[in-house]
Structure 1
Amino acid sequence: MGSADNTMTDGGRGLGASMTGLWRRLVRGREEAREPVPRGEVLPARSWRRIDDLFKAAAGDYDGEARARERMGQLLAFYLAAGDDDRRAFLGRLEADYGPAEVEVRRAIEAYMTAAGSAERARAEGRLAASLESPRQRILRQFNLLPNGVHALVDLRADLLRLGVDACPGLDQDLLRLFVNWFDAGFLELQRVGWESPASLLEKLIRYEAVHEIKSWSDLRNRLDSDRRCYAFFHGRMPAEPLIFVEVALVRDIADKVQTLLDESQPTLDPEAATTAIFYSISNAQAGLRGVSMGEFLIKRVVQQLLQEFPRLRTFATLSPVPGFNRWLDKRLAEPVYVERIPVDVRKLLDGTGKSGVAAVLDCVGAEISGSQPPSAALQAWLKAECTYYLAREKSGRHPLDPVGRFHFSNGASLGRVNWLGDVSARGLRQSCGLMVNYLYKLKDIESNHQAYAREGTLALAFDVERQLEAAVEARKEPRAGRAPRARKARAES
């Protein structure tokens, strides 16, 4: 027995010594990697030679997890210590030197095109797929071996987007393909964030909120009160980092003004008495995950969660911004033909400001908010109709031009209402003259709306919104007297 004990002890010492040596090499490698690259300084040539060696080894045949982890630790240490210029060079090396082998891709394509029979074609498909997997992807996947490797890659792509993705389209696509798989909805965990959550997480909510700025801790506490909910998606490899989160207000009616929802002086509603859930802010927390679809799954999972907790809920709606409306309107107001078709009462108001473009509209809206001018029903009706036209008719390809509208329509929502002075903050006025909209998530219609949008680009509109759209379309028709002269002129010229 004693002999066996000694053998096990000696074996343990050998294993321990081996692991200790590996750990020392790993730490020493990271220290050596960091030493020549103080933050923001340019890497010397010898450091780039070392990075190139690490890249080549990582792109080559797999030689074991321990070695791969050591390499990736050193590469990450180099990257984290570098300034923007060297980060660009680091990313540029991955782009230029580790893409798919063009010769192999061409051969695989030819083999696929000439394959005879289903079995040969299946084998050719496999070879083509393998040829398209770049050495760069092999390098990127190995970051997954590091405890913080997934988070590091998400941050790396955020750098890529910030520094200019145009220079590295291949790298961007490789990262996006990895993230679409790694951050599939099945791997995401929905968690409620409350006032009792860790302070570090609450601080991140304040930092990542992208729609309605959280101005103070009391503002945050109000958003996490008993008649409010905040839910976020988390990933197992980034457990302390929210990926995307949504803020919800439990109310009795569909909200039309965000300042009312955010007003800390408003009484707290018994959530059991709520019949409506208003999604008033959805924020992507990780810039590096842009293009990875998570919002649609988040809303649907939150609806399920809310129904379990509050079965009396009947209505699910958003109170959403219209971020591109002012830019679009400003371009239209620069077109003389468009200006001629603005209702006379509205045109008089705009001319009276002495300003042009959307600045004149903002002046009129601001005067109404301050009370220096009486409310104008004509201005309100015109702006709401134009906003409806922008959301329902202005497209980029088959999709709505407005990014928020595109998201909700593709999700199966319908456009329920355009709200006058829904957001009178500086940002709300700057984006959409203070207009906000309600998208409705009617549970019985979500799937059919989604299918109609996916197949034909059809947008679901409520009855009142359709009437506003008709008014906007009618205003764009040429006067009958104005069409004939042009027709006669065209015939004369022909």
Structure 2
Amino acid sequence: MTILADLLSTVFERRLRRAPELQDDRPMPELTAKLLGATGEISGLSVAQVIFDRFERMEDAEKLDFFRHLAVDLNISASRVREALSDYEAAPTKATYRAFMAASEPPRQELVRRMNHVSGATGALVRMRADLLRLGREEPELQALDLDFRHLFASWFNRGFLVLRPINWSSPAAILEKIIAYEAVHAIDSWEDLRRRLAPSDRRCFAFFHPAMPDEPLIFVEVALTRGVPGSIQTLLAEDRAPLDAHEADTAVFYSISNCQQGLASISFGNSLIKQVAADLAVELPGLKTFVTLSPIPGLTKWMTEAGIDFAASEPDVLRRCGAGYLLHAKRPDGQPLDPVARFHLGNGAEVHQVHGDADTSPKGRAQSAGVMVNYLYDLSKVSQNHERFAATGEIVASAEVRSLADAVEKQRLKDSA
């Protein structure tokens, strides 16, 4: 951690000392109006604290009412925006531009900013957005409100504020418990299972933290150091495997990436995390030449079922071809890959490197991808170029082997449809 990050953590940790709960029975709309109109820092902090305390005690129906109040009563005025824009078009000055900016920003954004002055507020606002995402899916006004949260969080949680920390067997128990709880790809069954992922010399784990939430990982990645590119998660995580000396490894395998905070959905950290970890490992261990993932293909069985392919009766080689075809050819209406994990890694500049059958024999692996997994290769000299090509044209960079597998599936599909 850098000296600046240490200083930031110290400042923010001091803010986290929570004030005693305050009592105020005024309706929420009165409280939000009071906070927006507050001119003194102390009075504003008191009102914001009351809003947080009240929200935490609310049932879902009350939370929905609060969100609807923010979405409707604290929205922009379309007529005011039009008037301000007209004034700016007629005379583009500093004053007319400032007026347009003020008109086009909904008051609820300023409300959230003022709420964030309270000790521990950033984490509370992240939890508040998690409730908004859970409760507001069906209401367009609440989806618009969520854009305001996303806009603010994208600034507050930008890469410049994030702190990369290694997680190891000596990390505080409270952090280790959260790694177990937040693991979303390959479940950690016990403390001994966690120890096998953190303690050996050929295992690494890194997480991003924010100084305002120093005890809450935002996202973490688990890394295995290996010789060669692995094709089975069970082999990679086997209880009886012999650990490898880290300096003998030539490959770093990112085998699990887990987002930890539901309230930070759509705020992207994974891109920065993988590239930062890869760069740091390359400095620590110069013998590492290859950086790959071992990733699930969560939509494969659904796609195969819709295509009329009996994945349960298919051989591993057939499943490999289907996996390659799905990754390269299955697209959403907007032209993006159908598979969400593929969209993430390809958008980061990775390439589809290898596809493996019988790679995840767990019940979850069988259910979501018929046991098929994929390696995405992060060639640090090409990720920027790959990212630009994918962003500009949707081009998927893949190895010759994967393209050959995918072409075989496409030819068979065309033959069957003829």
- Aligned mate of 2:278, from 303, 308, 324: 303
Mapped contact 1:247–1:282 kept (Cα < 8 A) = yes
Residue aligned with 2:324, SS: helix
Cα shift readout 1:323-376 (whole Å, capped 9, x = no counterpart):
11112222221xxxxx6xxxxxxxxxxxxxxxxxxxx422x36xxxxxxxxxxx
Give the structure 1 partner of residue 348 of structure 2: 411
1:59 and 2:36 are equivalent in the alignment: yes
Give the structure 2 partner of residue 273 of structure 1: 248
Q: CA deviation at 1:31?
A: 4.3
- Aligned mate of 2:367, from 407, 430, 442: 430
Residue aligned with 1:191, SS: strand
Q: CA deviation at 1:478?
A: 4.1
Q: CA deviation at 1:392?
A: 1.0
| CA–CA separation in structure 1 for the residues paired with 2:95 and 2:354 | 54
- Aligned mate of 1:393, from 326, 329, 339: 329
Mapped contact 1:316–1:442 kept (Cα < 8 A) = yes
Give the structure 2 partner of residue 199 of structure 1: 173
- Aligned mate of 1:132, from 104, 108, 111: 104
Mapped contact 2:317–2:357 kept (Cα < 8 A) = no
| CA–CA separation in structure 2 for the residues paired with 1:404 and 1:361 | 20
Q: 1:125 to 1:466 in 2, by over 3 A?
A: farther
1:170 and 2:107 are equivalent in the alignment: no
- Aligned mate of 2:52, from 66, 76, 84: 76
Give the structure 2 partner of residue 461 of structure 1: 398
Mapped contact 2:335–2:394 kept (Cα < 8 A) = yes
Amino acid at match of 2:100: L
Give the structure 2 partner of residue 476 of structure 1: 413
Q: CA deviation at 1:134?
A: 0.9
Mapped contact 1:409–1:450 kept (Cα < 8 A) = yes
Give the structure 2 partner of residue 19 of structure 1: none
Instruction: Specify the structure having the higher radius of gyration (Cα).
Output: 1
Amino acid at match of 1:233: F
1:11-22 correspondence to structure 2 within 5 Å: none
Mapped contact 2:347–2:391 kept (Cα < 8 A) = yes
1:17-416 correspondence to structure 2 within 5 Å: 27=20, 30-33=21-24, 47=25, 49-60=26-37, 62-112=38-88, 114-115=89-90, 120=92, 124-167=96-139, 168-225=142-199, 226-333=201-308, 360-362=310-312, 364=313, 379-396=315-332, 397-416=334-353
Give the structure 2 partner of residue 446 of structure 1: 383
Q: CA deviation at 1:164?
A: 2.6
Mapped contact 1:58–1:138 kept (Cα < 8 A) = no
Q: CA deviation at 1:73?
A: 0.4
Q: 1:238 to 1:254 in 2, by over 3 A?
A: same
Q: 1:249 to 1:131 in 2, by over 3 A?
A: same
- In the superposition, the TM-score normalised over structure 1's length comes to 0.77
| CA–CA separation in structure 2 for the residues paired with 1:122 and 1:254 | 58
Q: Which moved more, 1:184-193 or 1:382-391?
A: 382-391
| CA–CA separation in structure 1 for the residues paired with 2:357 and 2:170 | 36
Cα shift readout 1:80-120 (whole Å, capped 9, x = no counterpart):
111222112222211121111222112123335x446xxx2
Cα shift readout 1:373-430 (whole Å, capped 9, x = no counterpart):
xxxxxx3333222221211112221311111000100111000011101111111011
Residue aligned with 1:233, SS: strand
| CA–CA separation in structure 2 for the residues paired with 1:135 and 1:31 | 24
Aligned residue pairs total 396
| CA–CA separation in structure 2 for the residues paired with 1:427 and 1:128 | 52
Q: CA deviation at 1:445?
A: 1.4
Q: CA deviation at 1:123?
A: 5.8
Q: 1:328 to 1:129 in 2, by over 3 A?
A: farther
| CA–CA separation in structure 2 for the residues paired with 1:332 and 1:125 | 55
Give the structure 2 partner of residue 486 of structure 1: none
Q: CA deviation at 1:216?
A: 0.3
Cα shift readout 1:219-275 (whole Å, capped 9, x = no counterpart):
000000221000000001000000000000001111110011111210111111111
Mapped contact 1:115–1:124 kept (Cα < 8 A) = no
Residue aligned with 1:477, SS: helix
| CA–CA separation in structure 2 for the residues paired with 1:287 and 1:300 | 23
Q: CA deviation at 1:456?
A: 0.9
| CA–CA separation in structure 2 for the residues paired with 1:420 and 1:257 | 8
Amino acid at match of 1:361: F
Q: 1:56 to 1:422 in 2, by over 3 A?
A: same
Q: CA deviation at 1:125?
A: 4.6
Q: CA deviation at 1:126?
A: 4.1
Residue aligned with 2:296, SS: coil
| CA–CA separation in structure 2 for the residues paired with 1:260 and 1:460 | 27
For structure 1, the 5+ residue unaligned runs are 1-25, 34-46, 334-338, 340-359, 366-378, 484-494
Residue aligned with 1:151, SS: helix
| CA–CA separation in structure 2 for the residues paired with 1:80 and 1:220 | 32
Amino acid at match of 1:59: L
Cα shift readout 1:201-230 (whole Å, capped 9, x = no counterpart):
000000000000000000000000221000
